[in-house]
């Protein structure tokens, strides 16, 4: 997941958590606020009533000498005020919820009760406000609070998104550049336009490192060129000198045999250097992939080239490729070398009257080309090492220099081909090349 | 045939000259680009064997100069550089062939013969030997007009040995000619013995093949 998506997701989730928390806490909070407000209002009313009484006398409410009480409700029974005379002086000053019967209807009120004394008479004042009314205002308040919250969250999420995008733009540019690099040589040094020091540092670090890698590749390229020239030139001289000696009529026959041995040793040295150079050159991308290669043509040409060897060892060679799979961008001679080496091994390590099958078929989204032999097989514990350079699984008497399979692997990597090897001792070995992509 | 060897390595040049003189070529040697440039301008060469890696001169410039002469020599590029760009450019500029160092002298001679046949329009490509006929253009071998069926490798082998008749050829030299363009783990020169055995079998059905001589511990020789 990209950093920008992660940041946006995280900020959205954190906001949702805050909202949920608020939704859970909001009702009791608003309820509390509403009650406190109501109590405040009741107290204000109490003060007004007491002021009226002290200014105008209690007679305004209760006539002198009467045992009666005063009571007033508004039409919807939302509020009431009552004053009644009480015989005993009980000190009461409370605000609490209580049920009252008003015109045959039980209504719950928030009631303020207060006793006071006027002319040695005691009165109880009660001011009430219906709980339903309070609840209504609570609901209204809750609704508006929720709208407000939703709006705030939406706005902040969008601001976060936009800000993240602007902030992370340099990172996106860097990632895009890195994605485009197929090989270090295709990288170009670029500055990045940002004030964020971390991104500047990252970009500079990448530029520096890629620069170093490019230098290393360049040096390796020069080294390869030098090695080719400096090592192969003396070998050339030796080779031509030996060939001239071979044709010298004065050369005694017993020395001729020694000369042939020298020629073989020199040939081996030449082969090792050329194999190493080939591997290095491929890894250094000094080969082009600009040919269209048909796997059917490739397999058949390898088979034709090697048919005589198979025949010499009385090994049957079958080629059976389904469909004509074509690689759009490849290097034919490298692929030829790759397949030739594998088939050549299949002959070398086969048994008399054995067989080799080069088969191919579309598999999944790609194509699989397999070379199966009925040879001596490779021990399971040796399988992971067969592509190691100079690893010789056969005895030391063999002329092999152990670079055939490393070449195969390097060519495969160069073409992004996946190799799998399956082998059973005394039954045979199967090399499979997996080509991805479309036909 | 007049050959100019452009090669800065004296040792290699000496061996090349020794071999070419033996093969009755007339040879000159230029050890640097300037010398070569002068010789190309003054003399008329049939062949230029050109090493691209010269200390003072870009070998490709020399190739260009050779192209611009009025006598148009055949040019075979010899290089150890083996760099792809040079290879492509070399052939694009009109070199007649290309040999990567190290190369076999026999291979060089075979290439020179092929180039000169192409270049100097030699029509006849038929070799006759002990009643057999090998047509290198049609790639056929026959005896008294009777076609003998050979595999590709058997034909190549016989043709190569004919080009170098009366000369000892080691199994390695023959192997290199037949498989040399492919870099593989090791070579098995026993395959050559199998090919020779098959060749002898196919040819001796028509006439004796004692002219294919085995040189013990060394290789083979065609005595014609």
Domain count of chain B? Answer: 2
Could you tell me the CA-to-CA distances from A241 to A223, A232, A265, A268 in Å, in that order?
27, 14, 14, 17
3-state DSSP call for residue B134?
A: strand
Q: How many CB pairs under 8 A join A and B?
A: 133
**What is the structure's pLDDT at B26?**
93
Percentage of residues in chain B having pLDDT higher than 90: 42
Average pLDDT over residues B32-51: 91
Separation of alpha carbons A91 and A88, rounded Å: 9
Q: What is the pLDDT of residues A29-76, one digit of tens each?
A: 888 888 898 899 999 999 998 888 888 888 777 776 566 778 888 777
The reply to whether B131 and B111 lie within a common domain is no
pLDDT at site B150: 92
Give the CATH number for residue B196: 1.10.10.10
As a whole number of angstroms, the distance between CA A89 and CA B116 comes to 143
H helix intervals, A247-322: 253-283, 295-312
Query: Closest residue of A to B172, CA-based?
Result: A264
Residue A396 clears pLDDT 70, i.e. is over it? no
Contact B80 A233 (CB under 8 A): yes
Instruction: Provide the shortest C-alpha distance from residue B70 to chain A (in Å).
Output: 32
Give A237's contacts in chain B (Cβ within 8 Å): 9, 11-12, 15
Identity of the residue in A228, A233, A263 whose CB atom sits nearest the CB atom of B172: A263
- Chain B CB contacts of A238 under 8 Å are 102
Bridge partners, A367 (sequence order): A362, A435
- Domain ends where: B119, B145, B180? B119
Least confident of A37-46, A407-416, B183-192, B211-220: B183-192
B13 and B114 both lie in a single domain: yes
Query: Is the pLDDT at A166 greater than 50, yes or no?
Result: yes
B180 against A115, higher pLDDT: A115
Pick the range with the lowest mean pLDDT from A265-274, B43-52, B77-86, B159-168: B77-86
Name the 3-class secondary structure at A293.
strand
Tell whether A400 is within 8 A of chain B (Cβ): yes
Q: What is the CATH number of the domain that holds B94?
A: 3.40.50.2300
Q: Over 50: is that where the pLDDT of B113 sits?
A: yes
Instruction: Indicate if B77 and B150 belong to the same structural domain.
Output: no
SS3 (DSSP) at A126: strand
Choosing from B119, B143, B171, the residue where a domain stops is B119
Residue A397 has pLDDT above 50, yes or no: no
Distance CA A135, CA A39 (A): 14
**More confidently predicted of A104 and A336:** A336
Q: Phi and psi for A126 in degrees, rounded to 5?
A: -130, 130
| Chain A residue with the nearest C-alpha to that of B186 | A400
Interface of B with A (CB under 8 A): 9, 11-12, 15-16, 18-19, 22, 53, 80-84, 101-106, 151-154, 167-168, 170-173, 176, 182-188, 191, 194-195, 215, 217-219
Q: Are residues B70 and B150 in the same domain?
A: no
B19 and B66 fall within a common domain:
yes
Average pLDDT over residues B55-59: 84
Do B97 and B163 belong to one domain?
no
Q: What is the mean pLDDT of residues A303-319?
A: 91
Boundary of a domain, candidates B119, B149, B171: B119
In this structure, the answer to whether residues B73 and B141 fall within a common structural domain is: no
User: 3-class SS at B9?
Assistant: coil
d(Cα B140, Cα B152) in Å, to the nearest integer? 10
Contact B185 A341 (CB under 8 A): yes
Q: Which residue of A has its CA nearest to B167?
A: A247
pLDDT of B217 above 90: no
Are A337 and B184 inside 8 Å of each other by CB?
yes
Task: Report the gap between the CA of B5 and the closest CA in chain A (Å).
Answer: 14
Q: Tell me the chain A residues in contact with residue B168 when contact means C-beta distances shorter than 8 Å.
A: 246-247, 256
| Residues composing chain A | 439
How far is residue B20's CA from residue A427's CA, in Å, rounded to a whole number?
52
- Is the pLDDT reported for residue B58 higher than 90? no
CB burial of residue B57 (10 Å; 0-12, 13-18, 19+): buried
* C-alpha–C-alpha distance, residues A278 and A334, integer Å: 9
Tokens of A62: 């209760």
Mean of the per-residue pLDDT values for chain B?
86
Interface contact flag, B185 A344, Cβ < 8 Å: yes
Report the half-sphere exposure of B193 (CA within 13 A, side-chain side).
10
What is d(CA B106, CA B109) in angstroms, rounded to the nearest whole number? 5
Which tokens go with A290?
């600009």
pLDDT at A43: 92
Does A232 contact B170 at a Cβ distance shorter than 8 Å? no
Residue B96 shares a structural domain with residue B193? no
Output the CA angle A32-A37-A43, nearest 5 degrees.
130
* B124 against B148, higher pLDDT: B148
Residue A430 pLDDT exceeds 50: yes
Residues of A numbered 271-310 whose beta carbons fall under 8 angstroms of chain B's beta carbons: which are they? 271, 274-275, 277-278, 281, 286-288, 304-305, 307-309
CA separation for the pair A279, A228 (Å, rounded): 13
Alpha-carbon distance of B125 to A320, in angstroms, equals: 37
Computed over its alpha carbons, how large is the radius of gyration of chain B? 19
Residue with the bigger pLDDT between A295 and B67: it is: A295
Which two three-digit tokens encode residue B10? 């004296």
Q: Say if residues A163 and A146 touch (Cβ distance below 8 Å).
A: no
Alpha helices in B23-80 (DSSP H): 33-42, 59-68
Same domain flag for B71 and B155: no
Asked if residue B137 and residue B114 are part of one domain, the reply reads no
Asked if pLDDT for residue B123 goes beyond 70, the answer is: no
Of A273, A272, A285, give the one whose Cα is nearest residue A331: A285
The whole domain housing B132 covers: 126-222
Q: What is the mean pLDDT of residues A317-340?
A: 93
Going by pLDDT thresholds of 50, 70 and 90, the confidence category of residue B1 is confident
Say yes or no: B6 and B115 in one domain.
yes
Q: Which residues of chain B neighbour A403 with C-beta distances below 8 Å? A: 185
Residue A155: enclosing H or E segment and its boundaries? helix A131-180
Q: Is A228 near chain B, with CB under 8 Å?
A: yes
Instruction: Give phi and psi for B101, each to the nearest 5.
Output: -75, 145
Interface ipTM? 0.85
| CA of B214 vs chain A CAs: smallest distance (Å) | 13
Do residue B93 and residue B167 come from a single domain?
no
pLDDT at A6: 86
Facing residue for B15 by CB, picked from A228, A240, A264: A240
Nearest to B183 among A234, A275, A348 (CB): A275
* A341·B102 Cβ contact <8 A: no
Residue A393: the pLDDT is 60
Distance of CA B4 to the CA centre of its chain: 16
Q: For residues A7 and A11, what is the distance between their CA atoms, to the nearest angstrom? A: 6
Residue B58 — φ and ψ, nearest 5°? -80, 120
> For B138-179, how does the pLDDT look when each residue is reduced to its tens digit (9 = 90+)?
889 999 989 999 998 899 999 999 988 888 899 988 988 888
């Amino acid at each position: 997941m990209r950093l920008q998506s992660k940041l946006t997701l995280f900020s959205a989730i954190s906001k949702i958590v805050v909202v949920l928390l608020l939704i859970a806490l909001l009702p009791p909070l608003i309820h509390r606020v509403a009650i406190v407000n109501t109590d405040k209002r009741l107290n204000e009313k109490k003060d007004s009533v007491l002021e009226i009484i002290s200014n105008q006398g209690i007679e305004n409410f209760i006539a002198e000498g009467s045992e009666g009480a005063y009571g007033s409700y508004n039409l919807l029974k939302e509020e009431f005020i009552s004053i009644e005379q009480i015989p005993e002086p009980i000190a009461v000053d409370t605000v609490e919820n209580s049920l009252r019967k008003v015109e045959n209807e039980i209504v719950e009120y928030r009631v303020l009760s207060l006793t006071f004394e006027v002319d040695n008479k005691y009165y109880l004042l009660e001011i009430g406000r219906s709980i339903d009314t309070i609840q209504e205002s609570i609901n209204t308040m809750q609704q508006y609070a929720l709208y407000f919250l939703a709006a705030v969250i939406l706005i902040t999420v969008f601001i976060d998104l936009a800000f993240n995008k602007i902030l992370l733009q340099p990172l996106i540019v860097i990632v895009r550049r890195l994605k485009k690099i197929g090989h270090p040589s295709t990288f170009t040094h670029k500055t990045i336009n940002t004030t964020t020091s971390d991104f500047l540092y990252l970009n500079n670090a990448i530029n520096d490192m890629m620069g170093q890698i490019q230098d290393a590749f360049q040096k390796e390229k020069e080294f390869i060129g030098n090695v080719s020239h400096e090592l192969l030139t003396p070998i050339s001289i030796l080779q031509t000198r030996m060939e001239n000696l071979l044709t010298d009529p004065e050369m005694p026959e017993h020395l001729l045999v020694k000369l042939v041995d020298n020629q073989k040793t020199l040939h081996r040295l030449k082969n090792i250097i050329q194999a190493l150079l080939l591997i290095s050159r491929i890894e250094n991308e000094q080969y082009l992939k600009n040919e269209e290669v048909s796997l059917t043509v490739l397999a058949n040409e390898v088979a034709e080239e090697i048919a005589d060897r198979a025949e010499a060892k009385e090994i049957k060679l079958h080629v059976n490729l389904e469909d004509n799979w074509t690689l759009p961008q490849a290097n034919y001679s490298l692929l030829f070398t790759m397949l030739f080496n594998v088939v050549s091994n299949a002959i070398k390590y086969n048994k008399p009257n054995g067989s080799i099958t080069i088969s191919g078929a579309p598999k999944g989204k790609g194509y699989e080309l397999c070379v199966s032999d009925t040879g001596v097989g490779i021990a399971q514990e040796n399988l992971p090492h067969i592509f190691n350079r100079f690893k010789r699984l056969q005895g030391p008497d063999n002329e092999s220099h152990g670079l055939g399979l490393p070449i195969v692997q390097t060519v495969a990597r160069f073409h992004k081909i996946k190799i799998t090897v399956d082998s059973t001792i005394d039954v045979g070995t199967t090399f499979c090349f997996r080509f991805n992509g479309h036909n | 045939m007049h050959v100019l060897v452009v090669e800065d390595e004296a040792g290699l040049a000496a061996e090349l000259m020794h071999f070419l003189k033996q093969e009755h070529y007339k040879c000159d040697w230029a050890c640097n680009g300037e010398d070569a440039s002068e010789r190309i301008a003054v003399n008329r060469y049939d062949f230029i064997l050109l090493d691209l890696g010269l200390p003072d001169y870009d070998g490709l410039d020399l190739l260009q100069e050779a192209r611009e002469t009025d006598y148009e020599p055949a040019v075979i590029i010899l290089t150890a550089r083996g760099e792809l760009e040079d290879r492509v450019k070399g052939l694009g500029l009109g070199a007649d062939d290309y040999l990567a160092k190290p190369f076999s002298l026999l291979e060089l001679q075979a290439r020179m013969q092929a180039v000169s046949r192409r270049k100097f329009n030699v029509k006849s490509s038929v070799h006759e030997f002990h009643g057999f006929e090998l047509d290198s253009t049609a790639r056929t071998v026959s005896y008294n007009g009777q076609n003998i069926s050979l595999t590709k490798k058997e034909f190549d082998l016989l043709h190569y040995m004919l080009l170098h008749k009366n000369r000892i050829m080691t199994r390695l030299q023959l192997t290199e000619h037949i498989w040399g363009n492919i870099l593989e783990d090791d070579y098995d020169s026993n395959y050559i013995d199998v090919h020779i055995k098959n060749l002898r079998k196919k040819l001796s059905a028509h006439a004796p093949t004692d002219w294919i001589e085995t040189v013990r511990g060394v290789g083979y020789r065609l005595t014609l």
